[in-house]
Structure 1
Amino acid sequence: MSYDLKTKGLVATIDEQSISQSLLDRFMVIAKKSDPDATANKILQRIIDDDLLAAYARIQFKAEELIKNSQVAFSPEVQIQQSLAANIVAAFGSEMMAEAKKRTGSDKPHYGQTARHLMTDDDWKKLLSDQPEVKLEYHLMPAGQKFAEQLVLRRYRFDANTQGTITLADVYESQHMQGKFQIHQKDKEYTDQQAQVLMERQYAIHWLEHRSGLTPVEVNAFKQIVVDRLQTQGYLEHIGVAADIHAEILYLKKMASQVTREEIKDFYQSHLDMFIRVDRVKARHIRTQDEAVAKEAVSALKQGKSFADVAKQYSIADDRQNGGDLGWVVHPETGSNWLQSLLFFQPVDKVSNPFRMPGKPNDAVDWEIVLVEQKETSYQPVTSESVRYVASQAIAKQKVMQEYLGVRAREWSQANIHIRPDLVLSMKFPDEEVHEEAHTH
């Protein structure tokens, strides 16, 4: 990477890709909508980052692994079009509105619509008449598909040389599963709205290509930057670096399956605090019939009364005369019951809040207040399944992060990058934080 670029109008070149000042300015507009403190240096670094990582990911992974394609999600093509249109509006929205007002004399955006068709009862019949009674998934049958391809819901003319149509088939194919369900439910308003959305996306892309003031090279670069962002985010999610906490990451799962016993043992010795188990606790409890009495008991405890005395006064449990003494509660070898689980997680010498015992929302169930007086702990055996699972997952995540940082550092070092001297980037290899989102989706 060299800070030696002096070509007029350019801020950076990455191998064969050129980033102009005009492009950087537009992505600055986008970034500042979510991050008012965004700087040109930070945005340029993100653009270069995405360019390099997306190029690497396209070689290493299948396209559907980078932009997910499933029955419940939008298709990759639709996701790209959505993101592109959203970024165009974010970057040029004020100019688009000003031009529309000047051209039409109205504050309402004008998209060149020349015809609009609303679905009729006869249309629905032709579209859905040959559908099976039981639907395992939503798709159109041959006759319905042919009809959808012929039925025009919107006609538009953006300029003298650009006109087109939005068919019912276009709308249907742009939907995820929930959207297709809406169409199969004959939702006329929803279908009309989605036709309008598609036309507006086409208008945004047309505006970028013909009215934005960007050169054809800059237009193509704008589109590629948006795709690179989607694919880079998809790559990070696929390997587990930026995935949803509840997502099942097959890449991580495979990495975890390859962790050795020796690696688990080393991790265990270095992270013993992660594998503490409660062997037994000495505890007391107060059981009441409802929340109101439980709150009275807590109030009495806060006033300084002993737990044993409050248990004798308020508890309905058989052990109330013993001050709610549960004695030593041993952690069972297999699953613990509700009260045991509560005791094992409760800190020592801290009165718990009142807890409603398990039951249906409208059932009359008891409430519990607990106090753990002593707690004895040990470490889970290094050979236990729980240690193997936790350690292998943690080790896999460490390896994935190291792999990602290594790939990123290598791609930057091997790329032919030239940057304008005043745009010094803040590189933090190898221990930087994982990206934050910068573009609009």
Structure 2
Amino acid sequence: MSTAAMAVDIAPAATANQLILQPELAARINTAPVYKLTLDVLASMAQLEKPKTGRADILDSIVSNRLLAGDVRGRFADEELQQSRRVAFEPDVVLDNQLSGYLRTVYRKDLETAISKLPGARLDTLIQEQGKLEEDELNNVFGPKNKIMLDYTLNPAQQAAAAHVQVFRCNFASATSISLYDVFRRQNVQGRVEFFNRNRDFIRQQAQLYLANLYVLDWGRQRFGQSALKDLRQALEEKNTVQAVMSLHGIGADTDSESKLLNKLAAEIKPKEVRDYYRTHKDEFKRIASVKARHIRLDNETQARQVADLARKGANFVNLAQQYSTALDAQQGGDLGIIAHRGQLSWLEQLAYMQEPGKASPPIRAAVAPNEKAYWEIVLVEKRIEDYQDPASETVRYQASQALAQEKAIRQLSTLQTQLRKSAKIEINQAALLN
């Protein structure tokens, strides 16, 4: 797909109204506040990766994310914007983990100071009692042990039972008790498997991590206030939503993932658009038409490595094949002839298509059945002929349609972002940009 289409125009925050706001605010968007804490934390995290990142740029992305996320929630179903809950973490768990992780990173020294004032200067001193996690309690929640499971989830009755199983009793106002269900619902599928397997050490470890998260979030509320912390959490949620929207539009790391939006737009692409795209992006449809290749077959891996080393150092490949190869074509210098890309290629032919011309491959173990004798192949491609995919082929239609769909999706998103910025009332606290 064309990388030139990846850029998305976003109107700069510098065009917003410049007003003096309360010191704890970084901006207002349509009268709703953006807290300085949100800017401080997101700017600090961004600067860990790129130290020269400006606070104005971060505030600009916060504003853009808030506008776009607020608009797209009515356009896309939750399942399109979220990973599958069967294998991934629940969205609110992801946010809690992100929020506490960001606070830990940015305010590490302050948190260490707060923890040092606890009895024993450790978080685990908040735990007053550990639940026994008796076998009958766990069986009541997870069912009989060693039962074959197809789905590691809990039905409502099991959830209620898990809520009555105490993992920890705590001397902590925000979590006087941590139940089995509190911890279970914070797991992905791998973690849930450990719960069903009655891994008590894992359960208690996860409960401690949950307690640590609760402590950090409680510290944040006391330090910055509930409203500021809620705003930071909202900004993280909006960032996740926008990343999901970008992916749906073919932007970002998951551009090869399934997107209903791109599939719908691709289905609307006309044959003339495909032909025009092929004509203007012909280099994207290059293919290997044929290769002229030779090979050396050896029955011993050690010898194969030795012969490959000789070939790498410049020994004549034909002579090596005649001297060492166990294949029937050894006396012909392992000549495979011209291998045209037609129909189903053999394993050796496919291997030849994968090699760079003029460079002998390392020894590759052949794909043989368990009861067949192993052997190794060294391949040298002497010549490669390239041409282009047939413009009428299904491959061209699919690739061109997907690329055109991505371009159209990005244009739609860019237009929407521009419209949202133009219609919004944005007030910037200039003082918040300075520190």
TM bucket normalised to smaller: 0.7 to 0.9
Is 1:149 aligned with 2:163? Answer: yes
Amino acid paired to 1:77: D
Distance 2:70 2:121 in 1: 42
Deviations 1:75-119 (A, max 9, x none): 223222222322333343322221221343x44236744433131
Equivalent of residue 135 in structure 2, options 96, 114, 121: 121
Task: Find the counterpart in structure 2 of residue 93 from structure 1.
Answer: 108
Is 1:236 aligned with 2:246? Answer: yes
Distance 1:150 1:127 in 2: 10
Distance 2:296 2:332 in 1: 11
Contact 2:65 2:242 in 1 (8 A): yes
1:365 shift after superposition: 2.4
The change in CA–CA distance for 1:69 and 1:75 in structure 2 (over 3 A counts) is farther
Is 1:292 aligned with 2:307? Answer: no
SS at match of 2:338: strand
The change in CA–CA distance for 1:290 and 1:102 in structure 2 (over 3 A counts) is same
Contact 1:288 1:314 in 2 (8 A): yes
Amino acid paired to 1:230: N
1:26 shift after superposition: 3.2
Task: Find the counterpart in structure 1 of residue 344 from structure 2.
Answer: 335
Contact 1:130 1:141 in 2 (8 A): no
Distance 1:243 1:175 in 2: 24
The change in CA–CA distance for 1:424 and 1:170 in structure 2 (over 3 A counts) is closer
Q: TM-score, normalised by structure 2?
A: 0.84
Alignment of 1:50-65 (within 5 A): 50-65=65-80
Distance 1:414 1:348 in 2: 57
Task: Find the counterpart in structure 2 of residue 430 from structure 1.
Answer: none
Over the matched positions of the two proteins, sequence identity in percent amounts to 29
SS at match of 1:59: coil
Amino acid paired to 1:188: R
The change in CA–CA distance for 1:35 and 1:370 in structure 2 (over 3 A counts) is same
Task: Find the counterpart in structure 2 of residue 70 from structure 1.
Answer: 85
Equivalent of residue 368 in structure 1, options 377, 398, 421: 377
Task: Find the counterpart in structure 1 of residue 417 from structure 2.
Answer: 408
Contact 1:118 1:192 in 2 (8 A): no
SS at match of 1:60: coil
Task: Find the counterpart in structure 1 of residue 362 from structure 2.
Answer: 353
- Relative to structure 2, which stretch is displaced further, 285-294 or 356-365? 356-365
Amino acid paired to 1:228: E
Deviations 1:54-95 (A, max 9, x none): 112212112343233421122223222222322333343322
Alignment of 1:15-34 (within 5 A): 15-34=30-49
Q: TM-score, normalised by structure 1?
A: 0.83
Distance 1:250 1:368 in 2: 43
Contact 1:284 1:325 in 2 (8 A): yes
SS at match of 2:152: coil
Task: Find the counterpart in structure 2 of residue 310 from structure 1.
Answer: 320
1:381 shift after superposition: 1.5
Distance 1:350 1:71 in 2: 47
Q: Which runs of 5+ in 1 are unaligned?
A: 426-441
Distance 1:264 1:365 in 2: 46
Contact 2:167 2:178 in 1 (8 A): yes
Is 1:277 aligned with 2:291? Answer: no
1:32 shift after superposition: 3.7
Task: Find the counterpart in structure 2 of residue 191 from structure 1.
Answer: 203
SS at match of 2:408: helix
Task: Find the counterpart in structure 2 of residue 205 from structure 1.
Answer: 217
Distance 1:325 1:65 in 2: 53
Distance 1:194 1:165 in 2: 14
The change in CA–CA distance for 1:405 and 1:286 in structure 2 (over 3 A counts) is same
Task: Find the counterpart in structure 1 of residue 7 from structure 2.
Answer: none
Task: Find the counterpart in structure 1 of residue 194 from structure 2.
Answer: 182
